Amino acid sequence: MIQLFKMAFRDLGRNRRRSFFSSLALAMGLAMLLLLAAFINGEMSGAMDSTIRLQSGHLQVRAKSYDEAKTSLKWEDLVENPDQIAKQISALPQVAVATPRLFASGIVVVRDESAGVRIMGIDPLSAANAPYRQGMLSGEYLSADDRDGLLIGQPLAKKLAVQTGDKLNLSVNTSNGDVAEQVFTIRGIYSTQTNGFDSVTVLLPLSKAQTIAQAENHASTIFILLKDKTQADAVAAAIQGSSYQILTWTGMNELIIQTEDLANGYMVILYMIVLAITATVIMNTLIMAVFERTREIGILAAIGMKGRRIMAMFLAESSLLAVGGIVMGLTLGLLVVAYFNNFGFYIGNMGMTGMLIGNTIYADLTLNDTVNLTIITLVITLLAGLYPAVLAARMEPVEALHGGK
């Protein structure tokens, strides 16, 4: 076996340039697939993380009749005594934080500019609202007793051409179907680096949101973050009540999960296409080697080398090309992935309903993807070398010697 690889290495060295570029083609194909896998995984995991932090949490407690799409403010659709319920849930050992939130729809007007917004009443002191506190770009964060201040996202501030300290008119739908209006002062401008969220969300202290929406002592949901998201089902079972519905992060983010499954399915097809193209390069290289060495193959067969040994010799050559290409591909691919893992790739506004994608995608390559792609690349390259190996093994010695003249 060692002798075969020595012969294969010598034969590949006869045309070093061709052998190098064949391995390089395989390396570039593998590197591209590693980068694509890292981007898909980074995009999906980033979208899930953003949606959990900003929108769904790991769990939510809602009234059974609450319809999120309609942003209902009817008291029968809201959670009563939300502070008390949140406090009880926070006492569970698996829970990191539980806080009430109230959602309402409204319109902001500044001079001749207006925009539809989603109003979110939050407890400013809750740790669940750290993304907004840490994302302050200008101004100051909300206080719990602020009666005429609010926070807006950076994209919305740009659209309305406003800055910290400016005033705007906010119209809010109320629980009885009326519209309440009030002039608010922009306390600060925040950014969560998620354009789809920041461009439509206005933050108010929970008590003020309850007052203006006429939903005193009620909340749309209890937003819950866990210490370990795998405990979501266990915690949901522990707090299950007859008057409320408990939603887990998997149930609330089915769109992201389905999108990830669909993307992975398409990626398998893309993997096969790219690897088929690079494997064709390896096959052509070995076929050329077979025809260039027809006389040599005939001599080897004439002196008694069995067809299976000739076949093994060409398979050894394809193995060396594969190993060389894989080593270069892993080196190149991991370097590129490391770059985009640190600096990311800016995509701007890619938000969509039920799915929050950050403004920047960071590559996230898993060990499982790396191992699977490496094995698939090796197997396909060896299969590509099978045809030239069989072609060489089936040559008749006399015809091979004649063809070499």
* C-alpha torsion sign, points 81, 84, 88, 89: positive
**Helix, strand, coil abundance in the chain, percent, nearest 5:** 55, 20, 20
CA dist 187 to 66, 143, 151, 256, Å? 31, 10, 6, 33
Domain limit, last residue, from 175, 210, 242: 242
Looking at the structure, tell me whether residues 312 and 361 fall in a common domain: yes
Looking at the structure, tell me whether residues 221 and 87 fall in a common domain: yes
CA dist 281 to 79, 188, 284, 388, Å? 64, 58, 5, 12
Domain limit, last residue, from 193, 219, 242: 242
Looking at the structure, tell me whether residues 238 and 271 fall in a common domain: no
Q: What is the pLDDT of residue 351?
A: 47
Q: What is the pLDDT of residue 44?
A: 86
Distance CA 205, CA 145 (A): 7
Looking at the structure, tell me whether residues 192 and 288 fall in a common domain: no
Looking at the structure, tell me whether residues 101 and 235 fall in a common domain: yes
In order along its 405 residues, the chain shows pLDDT tens digits of 676 667 666 767 777 888 888 889 899 999 999 999 999 888 888 888 989 999 999 999 999 888 888 888 888 899 999 999 999 999 999 999 999 999 999 999 998 889 999 999 999 999 999 999 999 999 999 999 999 999 999 999 999 999 999 999 999 999 888 999 999 999 999 999 888 899 999 999 999 999 999 998 999 999 999 999 999 999 998 887 767 899 999 988 888 888 888 887 888 888 888 888 888 888 888 888 777 767 776 777 677 677 777 778 778 888 888 899 999 999 999 999 999 999 888 876 654 445 677 788 899 999 999 999 999 899 888 888 888 877 777 766 655 555 544
Q: What is the pLDDT of residue 355?
A: 64
Has residue 56 been placed in a domain?
no
Has residue 136 been placed in a domain?
yes
Q: What is the pLDDT of residue 353?
A: 47
Q: What is the pLDDT of residue 204?
A: 96
Has residue 289 been placed in a domain?
yes
Has residue 59 been placed in a domain?
no
Q: How many structural domains does the chain have?
A: 2
Q: What is the pLDDT of residue 255?
A: 82
Residue carrying the six token digits 């900003």: 54
Looking at the structure, tell me whether residues 105 and 180 fall in a common domain: yes
Distance CA 188, CA 223 (A): 23
Has residue 249 been placed in a domain?
no
Q: What is the pLDDT of residue 333?
A: 93
Looking at the structure, tell me whether residues 171 and 207 fall in a common domain: yes
Looking at the structure, tell me whether residues 145 and 15 fall in a common domain: no
Domain limit, last residue, from 213, 242, 271: 242
Looking at the structure, tell me whether residues 230 and 148 fall in a common domain: yes
Looking at the structure, tell me whether residues 42 and 162 fall in a common domain: no
Answer for the pair 136, 153: CB distance below 8 angstroms, yes or no.
no
The parent domain of residue 347 ranges over: 2-51+256-403
Kindly report the pTM of this predicted structure: 0.79
CA dist 100 to 50, 123, 210, Å? 19, 7, 11
Residues with Cβ within 8 Å of 345's Cβ and at least 6 positions away in sequence, in order, are: 39, 360, 361, 362, 363
SS3 6: helix
Q: What is the pLDDT of residue 84?
A: 93
Has residue 9 been placed in a domain?
yes
Looking at the structure, tell me whether residues 84 and 14 fall in a common domain: no
Has residue 247 been placed in a domain?
no
Looking at the structure, tell me whether residues 229 and 136 fall in a common domain: yes
Long-range Cβ pairs for the range 63-70 (8 Å, 24+): 63/243, 63/244, 63/245, 64/243, 64/244, 64/245, 66/220, 66/221, 66/245, 68/103
CA dist 83 to 16, 68, 72, 88, 129, Å? 73, 20, 19, 9, 16
Has residue 250 been placed in a domain?
no
Q: What is the pLDDT of residue 143?
A: 93
